[in-house]
Amino acid sequence: MAALRRKFGEDYQVVNTNRDTATFSAPVKKKRQRFVEKNGRCNVQHGNLGGETSRYISDLFTTLVDLKWRWNLLIFVLTYTVAWLVMASMWWIIAYIRGDINHGRDSSYTPCVANVYNFPSAFLFFIETEATIGYGYRYITEKCPEGIILFLFQSLLGSIVDAFLIGCMFIKMSQPKKRAETLMFSQDAVISQRDGKLCLMFRVGNLRNSHMVSAQIRCKLIKSRQTPEGEFLPLDQCELDVGFGTGADQLFLVSPLTICHEINPKSPFFDLSQRSLLNEQFEIVVILEGIVETTGMTCQARTSYTEDEVLWGHRFLPVMSLEEGFFRVDYSQFHSTFEVNTPPYSVKEHDEKSSLPSPLYPPTPLLGETLGTTTRRARVFSVDCINTAEREERAGHSKLPGKLQRMSSSGREDLQRKVLMLGSQQHSEKACSTGDLPLKLQRLSSSGPEAETRLQLKALKVGFEPMTQSTGDLQLPAAPTPFPARDHTPLPSGGGRGEDNLPDKLRRMNADR
């Protein structure tokens, strides 16, 4: 126990696995049936063919090639054995009918086939003729036309049987299925970021030095789904883009390559996240095709990845290294992966979060919206803002002369009254309240909508002056620049002349103008 604690740490504990003790065990997920095995064999069996079995006999050559080796060898041996026995029996029947068996030892008698006087001798004659051994002891004579015809039939039949069986064995031996054994796929597929995009990746490799000409790779997603019309599609096949548009699916397979499928809005994994991966059921079938360089035959290698074999947040270890004069591939790290930082949410969730506006940077309103909302901005000010400005102003109010203190207090009361009047009246009444404003603002209000906007902005500016400046920084107003005479008719207000409501100093300034 002490040695185990030194090896695994102080947190190492012995767990009792007896059945009598009620211990918690994590539920083991049942292994799901695969559509394509890891070695590429399709796990599909055809049954209840009915009368369609005769189609296998019509394509006998392909049927023999597709059979397993033990059945091919059995058919090969039985075919030659039966053919030899049948042909040997025919030679023995000819000798029996002609009576050559009774005169086998008579040197004065001319048989159909010399030295054939029983079945074993007829069988040996057929083997010598078929195999073109030609010992010279048994031969056909010219007094046997039926033997000559049988000899021609034997030669034709033997050539057909040889071509059929030997050709079948040659095609089966030269099949590129064994070439696919030297094409490797990684045990697991991984999902991680590459070039700022979430990708599904797996690795392929070629163990031989001979190349795969015109190698191309394809991926299929096998997943059951239900259509909006209610139709259930078991094992529906969907294509996974591994670079068909960019040519990345055309491989130069001289070293291990990592195949990448970008997860985008067109991908079936667009809404796949790390959490939803635990509840998904799908199978990714990978098909690698190419021409074998040595034989010129097309080879296809297949494998598949289930949802349990897709690792989220992993990346493959590098296997290439530079040696002196060549590159070395370490296949011991071919299936190894390591964890990397990967967002746990799906690409769909990432796009939705990116499309939401940030609270720190609100959207800029359009020009029309700005002009439309300027009428509402004048209502922002309240008496509280002006009271706050009064408290800030009182700190430096005592430092001013008495005349300036009276001017600032009278101007502040007048400003409060004007701001309250602007905020309480509706948009329709604002055109009639310009008589309460100074003469300069009245002129601006009579110039149209643009002037009204400038008028409101000036009101905002005047309202903020007590908050941004203290009375200690105030200076005596400079002498106003005389304006040229201009006719102006103020809009009628709710009661009396508008100039009667102005402060004394502003009335004197208007009288001077």
Question: In the structure, what pLDDT confidence band is assigned to residue 359 with cuts at 50, 70 and 90?
Answer: low
- Assess contact for 224 and 236: CB atoms under 8 A: yes
Strand 189-194 to strand 310-312: parallel, antiparallel, or no bridges (unpaired)? parallel
Within a domain: residue 463?
Answer: no
The verdict on 134 and 109 lying in the same domain is yes
Amino acid 57: pLDDT: 81
The verdict on 247 and 309 lying in the same domain is yes
Which of 163, 162, 140 lies closest to 152 in space, CA to CA?
140
Angle between helices 69-98 and 119-130 (to 10 degrees): 120
Strand 232-240 to strand 250-251: parallel, antiparallel, or no bridges (unpaired)? unpaired
Tell me: the pLDDT tens digits for 486-501?
444 444 444 445 555 6
The verdict on 280 and 132 lying in the same domain is no
Amino acid 106: pLDDT: 72
Question: In the structure, what pLDDT confidence band is assigned to residue 45 with cuts at 50, 70 and 90?
Answer: confident
- Assess contact for 202 and 186: CB atoms under 8 A: yes
105 vs 116 pLDDT, higher one: 116
Considering only CA atoms, give the Rg of the chain: 51
Close Cβ partners of 74 (under 8 Å, ≥ 6 residues apart):
none
SS3 416: helix
Within a domain: residue 315?
Answer: yes
Amino acid 210: pLDDT: 87
Question: In the structure, what pLDDT confidence band is assigned to residue 324 with cuts at 50, 70 and 90?
Answer: confident
Asked if the model's pLDDT at residue 386 lies above 60, the reply is no
Which of 126, 188, 123, 176 lies closest to 151 in space, CA to CA?
126
Kindly report which listed range (388-392, 454-458, 463-467) carries the lowest average pLDDT score.
463-467
Close Cβ partners of 455 (under 8 Å, ≥ 6 residues apart):
434, 437, 441, 444, 445
Within a domain: residue 449?
Answer: no
Number of domains the chain contains: 2
The verdict on 103 and 233 lying in the same domain is no
Across 223-246, b (16+ Cβ under 10 Å) vs e yields beeeeeeeeeeeeeeeebbbeeee
Q: What is the CATH number of the domain that holds 254?
A: 2.60.40.1400
172 vs 302 pLDDT, higher one: 302
Within a domain: residue 165?
Answer: yes
Amino acid 382: pLDDT: 42
Within a domain: residue 331?
Answer: yes
The verdict on 249 and 337 lying in the same domain is yes
Within a domain: residue 498?
Answer: no
Within a domain: residue 189?
Answer: yes
Amino acid 29: pLDDT: 57
Q: Which domain holds residue 76?
A: 65-175
The verdict on 156 and 226 lying in the same domain is no
Tell me: the pLDDT tens digits for 421-462?
555 454 444 434 444 445 444 454 445 544 445 444 444 444
The verdict on 337 and 280 lying in the same domain is yes
Cα–Cα dist 511/488, whole Å: 14
SS3 347: helix
Q: In the block, which residue shows the tokens 């508008």?
A: 498
The verdict on 171 and 198 lying in the same domain is no
Within a domain: residue 408?
Answer: no
506 exposure class (CB count in 10 Å sphere: 0-12, 13-18, 19+): middle
- Percent of the chain predicted with pLDDT > 90: 33
Give the phi and the psi of residue 57 in degrees, each rounded to 5. -70, -35
- Assess contact for 256 and 204: CB atoms under 8 A: yes
- Assess contact for 268 and 242: CB atoms under 8 A: no
Q: What is the CATH number of the domain that holds 151?
A: 1.10.287.70
- Among 146, 175, 204, identify where a domain stops: 175
Amino acid 331: pLDDT: 92
Residues 234-260: what's their mean pLDDT?
Answer: 92
Continuous segment of H or E residues that includes residue 361: none
The verdict on 110 and 200 lying in the same domain is no
Amino acid 64: pLDDT: 87
- Assess contact for 79 and 72: CB atoms under 8 A: no
Question: In the structure, what pLDDT confidence band is assigned to residue 315 with cuts at 50, 70 and 90?
Answer: very high
Give the phi and the psi of residue 39 in degrees, each rounded to 5. -85, 0
Asked if the model's pLDDT at residue 184 lies above 90, the reply is yes
Kindly report which listed range (30-34, 67-71, 88-92, 392-396) carries the lowest average pLDDT score.
392-396
Pair of tokens at residue 343: 């967002």
Continuous segment of H or E residues that includes residue 143: none
- Among 175, 208, 239, identify where a domain stops: 175
Tell me: the pLDDT tens digits for 405-416?
555 555 555 655
Across 362-401, b (16+ Cβ under 10 Å) vs e yields eeeeeeeeeeeebeeebeebeeeebeebbebbeeebeebe
- Assess contact for 385 and 378: CB atoms under 8 A: no
Cα–Cα dist 17/22, whole Å: 9
The verdict on 230 and 199 lying in the same domain is yes
Amino acid 20: pLDDT: 41
Question: In the structure, what pLDDT confidence band is assigned to residue 6 with cuts at 50, 70 and 90?
Answer: very low
- Among 175, 206, 226, identify where a domain stops: 175
The verdict on 79 and 102 lying in the same domain is yes
Pair of tokens at residue 172: 């089966």
The verdict on 70 and 190 lying in the same domain is no
Kindly report which listed range (27-36, 70-79, 473-482) carries the lowest average pLDDT score.
473-482
Amino acid 241: pLDDT: 94
Asked if the model's pLDDT at residue 344 lies above 70, the reply is yes
